[in-house]
Amino acid sequence: MDTGPAPEEIRQALLTEHGAAGLRLAHKEGSLVPVLRALRELHHLSLGEARLVAADLQAAGLVGTPMEIAYLAQGLRVRSVAVVITSSG
């Protein structure tokens, strides 16, 4: 099963139809080690890339399609990382 990103035209259609979802860490002061591991495993990121995404999760959070956010949230929760999902649609 391919878990790579959807083509941009599909993403845009999903965002138009369902709105965007947001994801942020529930506890900003926690260890980023499980977050980094999850990001590297789920999205095949380098350590530097994972650090940048983790910093975004700690700050304002990430925005994506509801499915992208649900997938990442599940991957983080499996590693005992508490997250908060927000919806705009």
pLDDT digits (tens, 9 = 90+) for 75-85: 999 999 999 99
Name the helix (H) or strand (E) containing 57. helix 47-58
Q: Structural domain boundaries of the chain?
A: 30-87
Predicted local confidence at residue 10, as pLDDT = 87
pLDDT, tens digit, 9 for 90 and up, residues 45-76: 999 999 999 999 999 899 999 989 999 999 99
Distance between CA atoms of residues 83 and 63, nearest Å: 13
pLDDT, tens digit, 9 for 90 and up, residues 24-46: 999 988 889 999 999 999 999 99
Residue 28, amino acid: K
Predicted local confidence at residue 52, as pLDDT = 96
